[in-house]
Structure 1
Amino acid sequence: MNGKFYGLGVGPGDPELVTVKAVKVLNKADIIIAPETISGKGSVAYKIIKEHVEQQDKVKFQVFPMTYDADALDSTWNQNMEEIMLFLKQGKDVAFITLGDPMIYSTYIYVMRRIKAQGIEVETVPGIPSFCAAASRLGIPLSEGEETIAIIPAAYKCDHMDELLTYGDNVILMKPSRGFEDTVEKLDKHQLLQNTVMISKCGHADESITWDLKKMTGQKIDYLSMIIAKKRGTKE
């Protein structure tokens, strides 16, 4: 009998924001898959849940490189899937951990689809999304009354960014490190910079908050950053 595959959202960074259900699954699963971008670099998601895991030797690190090379990605993904499927076919329950919520711009989504295609039972445990944690940390409501929210994956080229900035009452730009200067330029064009804040590594020990984005142009922006822009202002 095959094991069960779990996707666990571990939240934005604070270990206390990991859900009770996620902790229960972590400790009943036979294997925990912790993704890292470079072999030996370590997993941010694992650092969050480490103190909750009673048996550390069941954690297996897998490399999911940050690259746009389709061939390299496909080769790595196939190797990772083979290892996960081996565990599952041995009857072991496997928990795949991911930052924030598993269903929001997550590597887990692609893993889940491949696992489901093999006829494996899958259960996804939600986590606190990074932008919700950031809004609470900053004391900025993301929506009130009839306000709309637009979530933009700023790490990728978004052809509709101008339209979203025009019509969205509140805009969240996820992972803006790639093309940061272009993003700042667009926010300035739409007269949103004065109502914009960027938070990096929310909930981590080295969290940082920036209210003046123009000062950050030309500097290295952490990958785990996000921008919140509100037409009615961020400092009401």
Structure 2
Amino acid sequence: MRGIFYGIGVGPGDPELLTVKAIRAIEKVDVLIAPKTEKKDGSVALSIAKPYLKDDVEIVYQVFPMVKGFAENSTEAWEQNKKEILELLEAGKNVAFLTLGDPMFYSTYIYVYRLLEHEDIEIQTIPGIPAFAAIGSLMGYPIVEGDDVLSIVPATAPPEKVEKAVQAADNVVLMKVYKNFDEVTDMLARNDMAKQAVLVSRAGLPNEKIIRDIEEHKGEKLNYLSTILTRKN
């Protein structure tokens, strides 16, 4: 009998923010797939889930190189990862893929799901708390209220696309603010949204960083896991 494949969102960083359903799945699976980058050892998602791992769980690290136009151009590495997951499931093992935040929100899991969704296997996807929701609660910062319109924007998108999304909304969540922090800050200032902004880097993780005046911190190097919440004045 084939095992079940779980996609599990572990939230932004605090292990206590995992859902009960996520914890129960982690406690019963036989294998955990821990995604990692090619440049770094270890897995942030795995470190968050660590308090709930059973002693004999098998941990498999997989590297998922990102490529543009993934749907048409999945790489040999991705296909090998798929093959390894299917072999584990065929052996009757329940397998979980851990991902930061929510599995269906800017997640590597989305591409893994697309690789597996047409295979003859059972897939269960378990949602997790995205970073911006945790930051809103941490900072006492309402993300939207009343009839507010919210834009959630990856700061890695083309600058003109980012600015159009910002201008169209009352409230904004900017994700992945790290490479172009200064440019993003200037763009928010042009749109009268810099003074109201708060930035949190590595929310709920070691070395968490909170910036309440982003214009005063221009030039600082930020972690990839950096998010800005802001609104129109």
TM-score range, shorter-chain basis? over 0.9
Q: Does 1:206 align with 2:207?
A: yes
Q: Classify the secondary structure of the residue corresponding to 1:80.
A: helix
1:149 aligns with 2:146: no
- Bigger drift between 89-98 and 209-218 goes to 209-218
The root-mean-square deviation of aligned C-alpha atoms, in Å, is 2.1
Task: Tell me what 2:90 maps to.
Answer: 89
TM value normalised by structure 2: 0.92
What corresponds to 1:191 in structure 2?
Answer: 192
Counting matched residue pairs gives 232
* Cα distance in 2, alignment partners of residues 113 and 68 from structure 1: 15
**CA separation of 1:116/1:219 partners in 2, compared to 1, >3 Å: closer, same or farther?**
same
Cα separation, partners in 2 of 1:56 and 1:223, compared to 1, 3 Å = farther
Task: Kindly state the Cα deviation for residue 57 of structure 1 after the two structures are TM-superposed.
Answer: 4.2
CA distance in 1, matches of 2:119, 2:66: 25
Specify every segment of 5 or more residues in structure 2 that has no aligned partner in the other structure, as ranges: none
Q: Within 5 Å, which residues of 2 pair with 1:111-130? A: 111-130=112-131
Q: Which amino acid in 2 is paired with 1:125? A: I
Output the CA distance in 2 between the equivalents of 1:178 and 1:76.
Answer: 26
Structure 1 equivalent of residue 53 of structure 2: 53
In structure 2, relative to structure 1, the CA distance for the partners of 1:82 and 1:144 (3 Å cut) is: same
Cα distance, 1:116–1:66 mapped onto 2, change above 3 Å: closer
Q: Which residue of 2 aligns with 1:30?
A: 30
Cα-to-partner distance string for 1:96-121 (whole Å, 9 max, x where unaligned): 01011111000000101111122321
Q: Give 1:77 deviation, angstroms.
A: 1.1
SS of the aligned residue for 2:117 comes to: helix
Pair 108,67 (structure 1): closer, same or farther in 2 beyond 3 Å: same
- Cα distance in structure 2, aligned partners of 1:56 and 1:178: 39
Provide the secondary structure at the position in 2 that maps to 1:117: coil
CA shift digits 1:150-209 (9 cap, x unpaired): 100112325432222222111000111122222112111101111111100011131110
Return 5+ residue gaps in structure 1 as ranges: none
CA contact (8 A) 1:65 1:73 kept: no
Residue 41 of structure 1 corresponds to 41
SS in 2 for 1:133: helix
TM-score normalized with structure 1 length: 0.91
